[in-house]
Every structure is written in structure tokens, then in C-alpha cells.
Amino acid sequence: QSVLTQSPSASGTPGQRVTISCSGSSSNIGDNNVYWYQQFPGTAPKPLIYRNSQRPSGVPDRFSGSKSGTSASLAISGLRSEDEADYYCATWDDSLSGWVFGGGTKLTVL
Amino acid sequence: QITLKESGPTLVKPTQTLTLTCTFSGFSLSSSGVGVGWIRQPPGKALEWLAIIYWDDHHRYSPSLRSRLTITKDTSKNQVVLTMTNMDPLDTATYYCAHSGDWGLHYWGQGTLVTVSS
């Protein structure tokens, strides 16, 4: 059972906008920055969003992140087939004194 | 350019101790604010954070695995070592090390698959 809660799956058609949510608590998301990762099978996670809403260079602006209270969201607009991957949220947890991850959301592009 | 690479055994027997080494370049683990963490991912499952060590030698462990983990660093060799005792088949996973800094766990190694089996 992951400390951060994500829906196991999400889907959309090409061109659509999809949102992936991540729910936590006051000791993690409520008090710390949220990070999002994209992972393809057999590869290491790739950072998509850091500090809640910042995109590393090279990440398309189709990807955006937001945080409100104890929840965070990753939005993908103009969905493409190559966006089909697993997405994870992560943050620091003050109570656990460690990093915590969500259970991951598998995005399917129909 | 920051790079990290994990190395260690691909197969360990139950009850044995696993020792993994993360060798990195492009940054110094003596720089303020910098850390190196370990994360694992069982086949088909989610990411799980294990441990982290910082430039000042402070370290943190996953509460559920604290009794089995030890993380150390060798700044001169640009290496971080993670040991996990009493390995179990449930510890079969890909183990990643990652750079921790202003951008969080931003730079990751390619991962190394460790299988626990007799």
C-alpha cells in the first residue's frame, strides 16, 4: 500500500487532455514539493515535473503539474501515442523522514 | 553531465546479504545539499524508496526496512554503497540509485535487477 494514492489506470484518445491525480496528507504533499516521473517498460523513471509545476528542459509543455493542499495533479494535453507509459508521483514525507511514491498510474492511449 | 550506475550481484540466495554500489559522476557528494538515494521496483510493481545519504553523512531509511539497510558513501571514489541483509525472494526487484538535490530525485541510474532465489 503506497503512502500516496494514484488511480491505477487512466486512458484517453489522441489529442485529448488527461489528468492523473495523486493524493497524500499534511505530512507529505501538504508540506513538500511534488515530483512526477514517466516510466516506460524496462527503463528508469524519467523526471517530468519537479517542485510541483516545473518542467525540466526537454519535457514538452503538454505536460503540466499542479498542487493544492494535500493533492497534486499531472495534466497531459494533446495526448499522443508515445505518452503511453506509467506515471508516478513522489514527495518527501516529514513523518516518515523519507521519500514516498504513489502506486503509479498506467496511461493507455486508445 | 550527471550520471549514475548501479552495480552488484544479479542473483543472491535467501538469507544472504546484498551489497550494491552506485558509482556516479558529474557531481560531488561533498557539495552542500546533495544526496544519493536508493529506490527499488519489484517486477510489475511500484517504486519504493529505500534509503538516502547526504553530503554531510546524514542518512535516512525506509521505516519498514530500516533494520536491514545500511547506506554509506565514499566521496573520494564517487560511490554510495547500500547493503541489505537477510534477503528474501520478495526483495527481487530492479534497484535504482538517484541523485538528490534542488530538483528532487532527478537523475537516475539505469537500474540493476536483483533476483533472490535458491
Give the count of alpha carbons within 13 A of A50, CB side only: 14
Q: Within 10 Å of residue B86's Cβ, how many Cβ atoms?
A: 12
B4 bridge partner residues: B24
**pLDDT greater than 90 at residue A13:** yes
Alpha-carbon gap: B68 to the closest alpha carbon of chain A (Å): 16
Side-by-side strand order, sheet with B18-25 = B3-7, B18-25, B79-84, B69-74
For B105, the 3-state DSSP assignment is strand
Q: How far is A48 from chain B (nearest CA, A)?
A: 9
- What is the per-residue pLDDT for B14? 98
**B37 interaction partners in chain A (CB closer than 8 Å):** 99
B12 pLDDT more than 90: yes
- According to the model, what pLDDT value does residue B31 have? 93
User: Is B94 a residue whose pLDDT tops 90?
Assistant: yes
pLDDT category, A28, cuts 50, 70, 90?
very high
Q: What's the confidence (pLDDT) of residue A1?
A: 82
